[in-house]
Amino acid sequence: MWGQTSGADKLRYFFTSNSAVDGCAKRKEPGYEQFEWLRVQLQIMRDRGMSAILIGHVPPARVDSKESWDETCWQKYTLWERQYRDVIVGSLFGHMNIDHFMLQDFHHIKKGAKKGQMAPQSSKTKAQIQGGGLLTDGEITVASASDYLVDLRYWWSKLPSPPSKKSKGRSIAEYVDEESDEEDVSFWQNPLSVFSKSKKKPKHGKKKSFLDKIGGRYAERYSVSLVAPSVVPNYFPTIRVFSYNTTGLDRLTVSTVSDQETFTNSLIQKLAMDHDFADDDTYTRDTESILRKKHKNSEKESLKKRKKYKFKVPKGPSKSSPPGPAYSPQTLTFTSYTQYFANLTHINNDFVAEAESSSSSINGASPQTIFGLHIDAEGRIEDRGWKEGKHGKHQGKKPRLKPRPKKFRFEVEYDTRTDGRYKLGDLTVRSFVDLARRIGEGDRGETEAFGRG
């Protein structure tokens, strides 16, 4: 049985610009509690064999010019994405008014975070981030959008590439298939070589190291966050429609009320069990006691060190479990999306009346008026006497032109399968790693074309 759910996070607790909260490291912070709640939810999804889509508002931007989340929250988010990569189908965000995506690199998770220890972000670092071009709640200006996209492209240009020039333009999927074919051919040409004890280095050592760098054939070193442009009419309103793999869903059984009650009860029990987890105050006291014993002569230096707070690290996928729906094509995997937008300039139709009333000659080559004075067909100024002015007829109240808007409709901007720039066979992580590498290796104009807003 397959099941899917969506979870919407209150990301206001994660903002660097939110002075009312202080990240996600301390147990008393709402950001900490939010991740605890998410951990319990995702674990229950895993236990029930379900998948989840994470939905949020402000995306986890993290480059030199833009960092919208507190670093402690970003660390936990990325750690959760790694540990629950067998459950999470995808992560969807908005807010920034730029149509793009982000890659989270699991190599950027700190060692302390992997062990369940985390220090709050320093106030100095926060001040530097808040002064880096972000407006309130993580918004960005049009001027800073270019810097942000350039930073993304720079980071993507550093992504691992296949070692041979021949394979450089290929996707990861094509590269893996090519390697498998070569290994099959070499086996059948000389099957005894597989069992012979040779001290020579493997022929495809470089290729295997490339796959190791990206986390294997499914690029499990990364996760993807998709950021959709805005639906608010300050910009061109947009809608994004996803397609996903429906294999086997026709045999899906609908959950009953009793199933929902069981789910709720298991959630309550899970939260009650996790409540016994040692709190930060106890951990801090024990740590300080050990420090005093070990460093009697350096108490001042010990106090200067930032405290680290404990949290429960989620369990990772079972070693026997296959890659999750975000990595390997399977039921519920995103296959594509179609981006729609409403052209408000065309729909509002504001310029038609203006065009009809605009002064032009019969042949359309020269104007009928110049500086408010009428001219005849031969180009001479006509003597029409006193001009009352533009408000003369209406006593200062010029009637508004009757609006003639066209029917409101969305039109297709692009489809990830058919668009010449995207060319994505599916929306798995390795497809986006391929796309990011292509953008990183391309020119600046191609990069800006992907940052449509």
pLDDT tens digits for 137-176? 445 555 568 889 999 999 999 999 887 666 556 788 888 8
Contact 73, 24 (CB under 8 A): yes
Q: Which of 180-194, 262-276, 313-327 has the largest mean confidence?
A: 313-327
Average pLDDT over residues 66-75: 92
Residue 356, pLDDT above cutoff 70 = no
For residue 27 the two structure tokens come to 């147990």
Listed in sequence order, the DSSP H helices in 333-428 are 344-348, 352-357
State the average pLDDT for the chain.
77
pLDDT given for residue 222 in this prediction? 98
Rounded CA gap, 48 and 70, in Å? 32
Listed in sequence order, the DSSP H helices in 84-213 are 111-114, 123-130, 142-156, 172-189, 192-195, 205-213
Q: Greater confidence, 311 or 198? A: 311
Query: 3-class SS at 227?
Result: strand
Average pLDDT over residues 306-328: 92
Question: Which residues lie across from 5 on neighbouring strands?
Answer: 52
Q: Scanning the structure block, which residue is given the tokens 């397959």?
A: 2
DSSP per-residue codes, 234-288: TS--EEEEEEE--TTGGGPPPP-HHHHHHHHHHHHHHHHHHTTSPPHHHHHHHHH
Question: By mean pLDDT, which of 37-51, 108-122, 136-150 is the weakest?
Answer: 136-150
Q: What is the Cβ-side half-sphere exposure of residue 283, based on CA atoms within 13 angstroms?
A: 15
For residue 352 the two structure tokens come to 């038609």
Contact 49, 56 (CB under 8 A): no
Rounded CA gap, 308 and 286, in Å? 12
For residue 158 the two structure tokens come to 């550093």
User: 375, 337, 101: which is closest to 242 by C-alpha?
Assistant: 337
Q: Greater confidence, 264 or 184? A: 264
Average pLDDT over residues 28-42: 94
pLDDT given for residue 91 in this prediction? 97
DSSP state of 58: S
pLDDT given for residue 277 in this prediction? 45
The 10s digit of each residue's pLDDT in 176-203 is 877 665 554 444 455 555 455 445 555 5
DSSP state of 12: G
Q: Are β-strands 238-244 and 334-341 bridged in parallel, bridged antiparallel, or unpaired?
A: antiparallel
Residue 205, pLDDT above cutoff 60 = no
pLDDT given for residue 385 in this prediction? 59
Query: 3-class SS at 44?
Result: helix
Contact 10, 2 (CB under 8 A): no
Phi, psi of 188 (to 5 degrees): -75, -25
pLDDT given for residue 187 in this prediction? 40
pLDDT given for residue 83 in this prediction? 98
Contact 208, 175 (CB under 8 A): no
The 10s digit of each residue's pLDDT in 409-439 is 999 999 999 999 999 999 999 999 999 999 9
Residue 243, pLDDT above cutoff 90 = yes
